[in-house]
Amino acid sequence: MELYPLKFDPILKERIWGGTKLKDVLGKSITDEHTGESWEISAVDGDVSVVANGTHRGTSLSRLIEDSAGDLLGQSVVERFGKDFPILIKFIDARKDLSVQLHPHDELARERHQSFGKTEMWYIMDADPGANLIVGFNRDLDKQTYKEYLQNDRLLELLNYEQVKEGDTFFINTGKVHAIGAGVLLAEIQQTSDITYRIYDFKRKDKDGNYRELHTELALDAIDYRKKDDFRVNYSQHPDAVNSMVDSPYFKTIFLHLNKDFALDLKDRDAFTILMCVQGSANVIYKSESVSLQRGETVLLPAAIPGVTLETAGAKLLEVTI
């Protein structure tokens, strides 16, 4: 099967906290006033991405993997994950605060939900003045103290708030309580999982007048109750160079700040590569083909591709692999 740089149709998600930045800032084709997420590359059951360009247009990611797993994913990825695509890529627009939540680790997620856990990374693309995130606790806790604060509606007193600006990056371990604050637009890279334990939702109701489900009991054994300052990602931003951001067992991320054309050599990488454009634009050149990559767009480079040229006069890209 001939493979090439693949773009996918975004899977748009209406959310109670969503807004219009996915349309207004990133140019997504949406009409809803509460679109919170654009799933760019997904193999989550019920939300599998479909190719938007080239000869494989209309083909699902699952079908491509079934037909050509080694060439698409890379043999090293197949050995680890079989034919499961291990990463979920999103853009998220929070017009209002998201719920305070956390995600279980692999072992617990496998036992309870037959799923991967959910380690994730956030790159802030745009933030209103004063916008912030909730990341972790502001003190060490134990389970009993946490339960007492939660039962007395004092959970917010325990949470750590981080004010953010464009370019700030956060690595969210499983078990860490977190929430995206109002006014934040970000790129999210995560394990393929849709398992979330919601523990606080600001007493708001959905469009039908109902409170959203909380997962109080499930969360108790999944929470990391320790105060940790391990979430901000410090990375260099040297122009026209490879800048390492995250190197974890779940994904690796590189920051590319390009001011001119850049040759991306992938011949020694036995894995797929994902490029997310977070600023500017570029053309991805492979053989005689060119794929446009605008801000808010994502392209998947199959493992069989030995390299591409990125033609640009200015772009910031997140390069993601496994």
Query: Residues comprising the binding site for Zn(2+)?
Result: 103, 120, 178
Cα(239)–Cα(236) distance, integer angstroms:
9
pLDDT for 194: 86
pLDDT for 110: 92
Q: Where are the beta strands (DSSP E) in the chain?
A: 11-19, 35-41, 43-44, 47-48, 87-94, 100-102, 120-127, 132-137, 159-163, 169-172, 178-180, 184-191, 197-200, 243-247, 252-258, 262-265, 273-286, 289-294, 298-301, 307-321
Query: Residues comprising the binding site?
Result: 103, 120, 178
pLDDT for 215: 96
Terminal-to-terminal C-alpha distance of the chain = 22
How do strand 273-286 and strand 252-258 relate by DSSP bridges? unpaired
* 95 assigned to active site: no
Residue 273 CA from chain centroid, whole number: 14
6 by DSSP, 3-state: which? Answer: strand
Q: DSSP secondary-structure letter at 81? A: H
Give every CB contact of residue 230 below 8 A, 6+ residues apart in sequence: 171, 173
- Are the C-beta atoms of residues 305 and 265 closer than 8 Å to each other? no
Which member of 15, 110, 154, 198 is catalytic?
198
267 by DSSP, 3-state: which? Answer: coil
Cα(82)–Cα(70) distance, integer angstroms:
10
The answer to whether the predicted template modeling score (pTM) of the entire model surpasses 0.85 is yes
pLDDT for 209: 84
The ranges of the chain with pLDDT < 70 are none
Query: How many C-beta neighbours within 10 Å does residue 271 have?
Result: 19
Cα(191)–Cα(72) distance, integer angstroms:
18
pLDDT for 206: 79
Which pair of tokens denotes residue 97?
A: 């605060």
**Domain architecture of the chain: domains with CATH:** 11-220 (2.60.120.10), 243-321 (2.60.120.10)
